[in-house]
Amino acid sequence: MRNASFMPQYIEISTCAPLCTVSYRCCLASYLLRSLCVGSRKLGTASLLLVREAMADAPKTRTLTREEVEQSANRLSTRYRAEVHLRPLVQQKTISQEEVAHSIKHLYDDSIAHRQQRLREIEQSANAEVEKFRARQKKLGADEVETMVHHLYEESIQRKQLKFQELYERELVSLQRTRKTLGKKEQEMVVARLYNEGMDNTRKKHIALFERFVLDRQPKPVYRSEGEVLAACDKLTRGEGVTSA
């Protein structure tokens, strides 16, 4: 029974073993040693040797502090994921600075040089075709050139005059048909009518301006009734002013 009293204490220690880094063999050896020292005197020499061997092989125990226990608990409760390095989808190749410069020269400088060379070749071929065309043409003298210039100029002038004459006739032909020649008496009547109408309009304008800027600005006469006239006479006979109260 005395041996059984040590079991709960051993079990309590063994539950803390994972945190205190105490091995199972060390706990077993400690339990056997306690059983031997307290009450059990019936074990033989072989059992003692076994216990001593187990204790000799057991690592030394160490009591962890509270901070070390918390660090160990955090380490065991934290899940660390190993960093995964993914392979590139496309095979990469590291090129040197010289290769980069060569690629730039090949893609940019050489392409521009090739394009300029192509443009020069096109220009040269076009100039050659122009020179061939000029060589096949007949060379004109100074007199022939002058004759052609005068011919073209005179033709352009004649063409313009013809178009102007056609336009003039088309626009004025209707007026020429309806135009009427007035006689001497009719002309005199038209002149007199225009002159008289002009004079009448000028006189009407002068009258309207005179009435607007002269007559309208003069004081207008005040007309009194018979009663107002008698009342004014009474005031004058009494020596009072007409406008007095």
Query: pLDDT by residue (tens digit) across 82-110?
Result: 788 888 777 777 888 888 888 888 888 88
Q: Same structural domain for residues 109 and 121?
A: yes
Quote the pLDDT of residue 10: 38
- The answer to whether residues 3 and 39 touch, using CB atoms and an 8 Å cutoff, is yes
Q: Is residue 128 part of a domain?
A: yes
Q: Is residue 114 part of a domain?
A: yes
pLDDT in tens, 107-166: 888 889 999 999 999 999 999 999 888 888 777 788 888 888 888 898 899 999 999 988
Q: Is residue 123 part of a domain?
A: yes
Question: What is the number of domains present in the chain?
Answer: 2
Question: Which is more confident, 210 or 17?
Answer: 210
Least confident of 30-34, 114-118, 185-189: 30-34
Q: Same structural domain for residues 127 and 111?
A: yes
Task: Print the domain residue range for 176.
Answer: 141-180
- Euclidean distance between CA atoms 18 and 27, whole angstroms: 12
Q: Is residue 218 part of a domain?
A: no
Q: Is residue 16 part of a domain?
A: no
Tell me the pLDDT of the chain averaged across its residues: 76
Q: Is residue 85 part of a domain?
A: no
How many other CB atoms sit within 10 Å of the CB of residue 22?
Answer: 19
Q: Is residue 160 part of a domain?
A: yes
Q: Is residue 163 part of a domain?
A: yes
- Euclidean distance between CA atoms 182 and 106, whole angstroms: 94
pTM confidence score: 0.24
